[in-house]
Chains A and B, each alone.
Chain A
Amino acid sequence: MSIQELWLLLPVLIISAGILALMLQASWKRSCYLAQGICLVTLFLALAALINNYPTDLKTITILFEYEPIGGFFSLLLLMVGISVALLQGPYMGANSKEVAEEFYLLLLLSCLGAMLLVMSRHIGSVILSIELMSLSMLAILAYNRERKLALEGAMKYLLLSGAATSVLLMGFALLYASSGQMMLVDMLQSPMGLMAKSGFVLVLAGLAFKLSLVPLHFWTPDVYQGAPVNSTLLLTTLSKAAVFALFIKLILLVPTDFEADMVRMLSWMAIASMLLGNWLALQQQSLKRLMAYSAIAHMGYVLVAGVIAMGIDHSLVLEGVSYYLLAYLVASILIFAVLTLLSRLDDQQDLEELPQLQGLFWQHPWLATIMTIAFLSLAGMPITIGFIGKFYLLTLAVKLSAWWLVTTMLVGSAVGLYYYLRVIFTLFAPAKSDMPQAQAAYLSKIWIGLIAASLLLLGILPGLLGDQLRSILSIG
């Protein structure tokens, strides 16, 4: 390993150093402010390091990792999520919580590390290690409040089912390895594929589809989302989805041509089922967390459409579309969960999540309600928000490929989605009830949320601002 390679690994190394520092700090002097500070400094340093030597072309780092523009963009998204969660955890937990504070930041950094490594992986070993590093530390975060029974239920379900999904993933990789004798993802999929390799590839995609909660493998999503503390749900719905999708799309783009038609058929059905079922089941939800869980299923279906298209036409435009759509989804999710987090407390038995509890939020907390409204409009794909541009990209691509089934389902799904998103927005503006929850006074987090909300609108109004950049960022133009 040369100095050059170490230099490219700098963001990851900074996060690892931050993890060590946090461990030492927790054993030396416990202080939640110090822990949050170390965590934030680490994440911002990693962000600076990543921006400073942003990858312009594909560089390999040993046989395990690679450093390329798309991975770099996903890493930016992951760091943005990590910073949001770290900022929100302070007010959510409060200064004198019953739970210990430092370990949350430790686990957060560990899962960020896993996610960033996953985006960079190019070898079976690194994929397995990083995906498990990410999901296991996330599992601990999901059950962070030890008093909540629902959190325990959700974490237990996630543990058992994700263990099963991991075993499917392992079997798939083992079959691919057995038929090709290669451990690198690229080499593995370039050798001729027999029946064994094909079934192995399907198993791998199934294992990843579980983490993305695509339809036949989505059953765990609503329960885990509802049970977990709301800040942990934010991490689950953004970090793991973005990182796993980066790997998913990398694998899809490597599919050999003779296997493409079958894969297109399989993934199209998964996408259609996810969009329809996710939107349909979200209609009846009273709990905002469950609603977001089903909407996450639907949105993963939309992103999968891009994956399907990627196999059909040239990759560069599709990657741009996927990046834009995921950015829109992440930004909106961060905003919605951030508002819920600011209104809830970790020590309570329940978070603020039922729709009636949010009735009339606008009259009590106008800014929070406005931000939530913008975020929901963006998820629904309304103009002047970034979500509209994301949907526009995907629809244009799907029309270009004449994938009419996908286009129809996307439109139907969006129409149904609009209904339940608007229901939430109407609730926010309904006449207020007397007992409204008090928001935490956390100026730093509020400034950060405000920045993200502003960028959501700015990129929605001036999509060219990022659109042109994005092409050069992903260096495909």
Chain B
Amino acid sequence: MTVPIEHGFVLVALLWAIGLVGLLSRKNTLFMLMSMEIMLNAGALAFILAGSLWQQADGQVIYILILSIAAAEVGLGLALLIRLRQHIGDLDIDKLDEMKG
């Protein structure tokens, strides 16, 4: 039994929405980073789906590229997280909100 491609894209949309809701509603920066990762992975999964649709390996190649980019992004994010912790002793993003206007 093969899974229809539309179901795959529904999964992608769901994953992306879960990530977005997490990014918008969470206050803890660590969880926001995780939500962002889910969103990036939703995009990556879409490439795998598209690749399997056309029976090409290109989709999976792009997936690996995205994986490495997401890793770099999270690496930088965690470095900023450590600075955040040293500045305010907390991971709450709301305590960082100083700039207005």
In the complex, chain B residues whose CB is within 8 Å of the CB of A174: 12, 43, 46-47, 49-50
CB < 8 Å neighbour of A149 from B40, B47, B96: B96
Chain B residues contacting A290 (CB-CB under 8 Å) are 101
B:28-53 near A, CB below 8 Å: 29, 32-33, 36, 39-40, 42-44, 46-47, 49-51, 53
Which of B44, B54, B76, B93 is close to A170, meaning CB atoms less than 8 Å apart?
B44
Stretch at the interface among A93-101, A154-162, A317-325: A154-162
Q: Is A164 in the interface zone, CB < 8 Å from B?
A: yes
Contacts of B50 in A (CB 8 A): 174-175, 177-178
Distance of A169 Cα from B66 Cα, bound (Å) = 12
Question: Which of A155, A170, A284 interacts with B46 by CB under 8 Å?
Answer: A170
The interface stretch among A38-46, A138-146, A407-415, A435-443 is A138-146
Verify B66–A136 contact, CB threshold 8 A: no
On whether the beta carbons of A167 and B42 are closer than 8 Å, the reply is yes
A149 touches B98 (CB 8 A): yes
- How far, in angstroms, from A72 to B94 measured CA to CA in the complex? 44
Whether A284 contacts B101 in the complex (CB less than 8 A), given A128-B65, A132-B73, A159-B77, comes out as: yes
Of A167, A175, A222, which contacts B99 at CB under 8 A? A222
Q: Is A385 an interface residue (CB 8 A)?
A: no
Residue with the highest number of chain B CB atoms closer than 10 Å, among A125, A160, A226, A284: A160
Known: A128-B69, A167-B19. A143 touches B83 (CB 8 A): yes
Chain B residues contacting A156 (CB-CB under 8 Å) are 29, 80, 84, 93, 96
Residue from B42, B59, B76, B96 in contact with A140 in the complex, judged by beta carbons closer than 8 Å = B76
Complex CA gap A139/B78 in Å reads 13
A393 to B58, CA, bound (A): 42
Complex CA–CA separation, A153 to B43 (angstroms): 27
A166 within 8 A of B: yes
A171 partner, pick from B46, B76, B96, beta carbons under 8 A: B46
Which residue of chain A is the closest to B29 with respect to CB atoms? A156
A256 CB–B CB distance under 8 Å: no
Task: Verify B42–A171 contact, CB threshold 8 A.
Answer: yes
| Contact between A226 and B42, CB atoms less than 8 A apart | no
Known A171-B46, A174-B47; contact A163-B40, beta-carbon cutoff 8 A: yes
B16 near A171: Cβ-Cβ < 8 Å: yes
Question: Are the C-beta atoms of A167 and B87 separated by less than 8 Å?
Answer: no
> Which A residue sits closest to B32, measured CB to CB?
A160
Asked whether any CB of chain A lies closer than 8 Å to the CB of B14, the reply is no
Main secondary structure of the interface of B (DSSP, over half): helix
How far apart are A282's CB and chain B's nearest CB, in angstroms?
A: 11
User: Which residues of chain B are within 8 angstroms of A173 by Cβ–Cβ distance?
Assistant: 43, 47
Instruction: List the B residue with the shortest CB-CB distance to A151.
Output: B83
**Chain A contacts for B65, CB-based, 8 A:** 125, 128-129
Docked CA distance A415–B92 (Å):
42
A172 to B98, CA, bound (A): 34
8 Å CB interface, A83-121 against B: none
Question: In the complex where A125-B61, A223-B99 touch, is A167 in contact with B32 (Cβ < 8 A)?
Answer: no
Q: B20 to chain A: which residues have CB within 8 Å?
A: 164
Q: Is the CB of B101 within 8 A of A222?
A: yes
Q: How far is the CB of A8 from chain B (nearest CB, A)?
A: 23
- Cβ of B72 < 8 Å from any Cβ of A? yes
| A267 CB within 8 Å of chain B | no
Of residues 362 through 408 on chain A, the ones whose CB sits less than 8 Å from some CB of chain B are: none
Q: Is the CB of A171 within 8 A of B73?
A: no
Given contacts A132-B72, A153-B98, A174-B49, contact A181 B54 (CB under 8 A): yes
B83 touches A178 (CB 8 A): no
Write out the residue numbers on chain B whose beta carbons fall within 8 Å of the beta carbon of A177: 47, 50-51, 54, 58-59
Task: Give CA–CA (A170, B62) in the complex, Å.
Answer: 10
Q: Are B53 and A154 in contact (CB under 8 A)?
A: no
Contact of A128 with B76 in the complex, beta carbons under 8 Å: no
Complex Cα distance, B50 from A363, in Å, reads 64
CB distance A226 to B73 under 8 Å? no
Chain B CB within 8 A of A285 CB = yes
Q: B62 near A128 (CB under 8 angstroms)?
A: yes
A409 to chain B, nearest CB (A): 24
A183 CB within 8 Å of chain B: yes
Which chain A positions have C-beta within 8 A of B69? 128-129, 132, 136, 166
CB-defined contacts of A124 to chain B, threshold 8 Å: 62
Query: Which of chain A's residues have a CB closer than 8 A to the CB of B98?
Result: 149-150, 153
Q: How far is the CA of A41 from the CA of B54 in the complex (A)?
A: 47
Within 8 A of B (CB), among A201-237: 222-223, 226-227
Instruction: Name which residue of chain B comes closest to A287, CB basis.
Output: B101
Given contacts A159-B80, A171-B16, A178-B50, 10 further A-B contacts (CB under 8 A): A125-B62, A152-B80, A152-B96, A163-B73, A166-B73, A170-B43, A170-B47, A171-B42, A174-B43, A181-B56
Cross-chain pairs A/B with CB under 8 angstroms, 20 sampled: A125-B61, A125-B62, A132-B72, A136-B73, A139-B76, A143-B80, A149-B98, A156-B29, A156-B96, A159-B73, A159-B77, A164-B23, A167-B19, A167-B43, A170-B66, A174-B46, A178-B49, A181-B54, A222-B101, A226-B99
The 6 closest A-B pairs by CB, nearest first: A170-B43, A174-B46, A178-B50, A167-B39, A163-B36, A181-B54
